[in-house]
Amino acid sequence: MSSTLTEILIGGISRGAMYALVALGYTMVYGVLGMINFAHGEIFMIGMFSCVYAIGIFSVAWGNQVLLNLTLGIAVAMIFSAAYGYANERIAYRRLRKAHVLAPLTSAIGISTFLQYFIFLTVSRDSVNFPRFYSDFLTNNHIHLGPVQVTYLQLMILGLTLVIMAGLFYLIHFTRIGIALRATAQDQLMASLVGIPVNRIIAFTFILGSALAAIAGVMFSMYNNVLVFDAGYRVGLKAFTAAILGGIGNVPGAVLGAMIIGLTEALTTLQFGSEWNDVTTFGMLMLVLLVRPRGILGERVADKV
């Protein structure tokens, strides 16, 4: 295998892993509520901004402790994003849960636009750099795989994706809260009749999905060196596509779909040029949906017992 092809494949897997982290959030909310959370991309974007601002504050407070500040920064990002995710559920979803399916969809698109321009007007109109002092040890250290190098950051992104996927799978299928999640997904009224706090379960789903989006946001901004208020749009679109490709509502499906999209984009760039990325990605989505209308792995969280 030529070194260019290997590099392309590694780049594609990292890109896919990034999509996967975002796609997990889409898929969880859909799995439980049967609704698509269009504001998820913006929660992702808020995650990256809060992490960088938190790191800034910490480094002023007690100096440049790389590992400590980065870890705390990610924690702050998760808390912020989770709060925004919860607010999103309260404002855009809870009241509309029994409304026509288009109503929450529209209100989520509204929240998404609102958050984008809220950040644009209050935080930064321009792209912001990720503080490279904090990401350099991850991006400049490599392990060698034959002729090519894999950075620590790429390994970290892939590792995080797999661990989180496994964790979510375990949570949904083998814990009490997972049973409650699946029950809520199947029938909210019945679930509430047997004593499951449906509102809290749904809020929990949003909070968990949003915290994951924050991790994705931090990884994205470290990997691409940039934070920008509209970054959530394209990544959100691709992640959403990944979730559908793998079978929306299905946790391993989201990761599989994201990997396929990441690799497709990378190989398209090699073969035809990156201007064809959207053509091949969405063309493949159409083909897969023609053959398997419910995605590659199919099913929602609820159907899989």
In the numeric block, which tokens belong to residue 297? Answer: 């792995």
Which residue type occupies 135?
S
- Closer residue to other proteins in complex, CB, 112/277: 277
- Closer residue to other proteins in complex, CB, 75/226: 226
Residues 10-29 that bind other proteins (CB under 8 A): 11-12, 14-15, 18
Of 65, 68, 71, 125, the one binding other proteins (CB under 8 A) is 125
- Closer residue to other proteins in complex, CB, 133/170: 133
Instruction: Give the distance from CA 75 to its chain's centroid.
Output: 16
Residues 301, 185: contact at Cβ < 8 Å? yes
Decide if residue 3 touches other proteins (CB under 8 A).
yes
Residues 209-228 that bind other proteins (CB under 8 A): 223-226, 228
- Closer residue to other proteins in complex, CB, 7/303: 7
Of 68, 101, 132, 287, the one binding other proteins (CB under 8 A) is 132
Of 64, 65, 99, 117, the one binding other proteins (CB under 8 A) is 117
User: What 3-state class would DSSP assign to 122?
Assistant: helix
- Closer residue to other proteins in complex, CB, 77/266: 266
Of 34, 110, 178, 230, the one binding other proteins (CB under 8 A) is 230
Decide if residue 91 touches other proteins (CB under 8 A).
yes
CA dist 290 and 33 (Å) reads: 25
- Of 200, 274, 212, 201, the residue nearest 243 (C-alpha): 212
Residues 58, 72: contact at Cβ < 8 Å? yes
Query: Least distance (Å) from other proteins to the CB of residue 292?
Result: 27
- Closer residue to other proteins in complex, CB, 126/146: 126
CA dist 115 and 29 (Å) reads: 19
Query: Least distance (Å) from other proteins to the CB of residue 195?
Result: 19
Query: Least distance (Å) from other proteins to the CB of residue 169?
Result: 27
Residues 274-303 that bind other proteins (CB under 8 A): 274-275, 277-278
User: Could you say which DSSP state residue 126 is in?
Assistant: S
Residues 240-279 that bind other proteins (CB under 8 A): 265-266, 269-270, 273-275, 277-278
- Closer residue to other proteins in complex, CB, 64/175: 64
Residues 252, 246: contact at Cβ < 8 Å? yes
CA dist 297 and 146 (Å) reads: 34
Going 9 to 15 to 21 to 26, the CA torsion angle's sign is: negative
- Of 105, 78, 76, the residue nearest 92 (C-alpha): 105
Decide if residue 85 touches other proteins (CB under 8 A).
no
- Of 265, 208, 207, 206, the residue nearest 235 (C-alpha): 265
CA dist 119 and 112 (Å) reads: 11
Residues 34-63 that bind other proteins (CB under 8 A): none
Which residue type occupies 280?
T
Cβ within 8 Å of residue 254, ≥6 positions away: 20, 23, 24, 26, 27, 165, 242, 243, 246, 248
Residues that bind other proteins (CB under 8 A): 2-4, 7-8, 11-12, 14-15, 18, 87, 90-91, 94, 114, 117-118, 120-122, 125-127, 129, 132, 139-140, 151, 223-226, 228, 230-231, 233-234, 265-266, 269-270, 273-275, 277-278
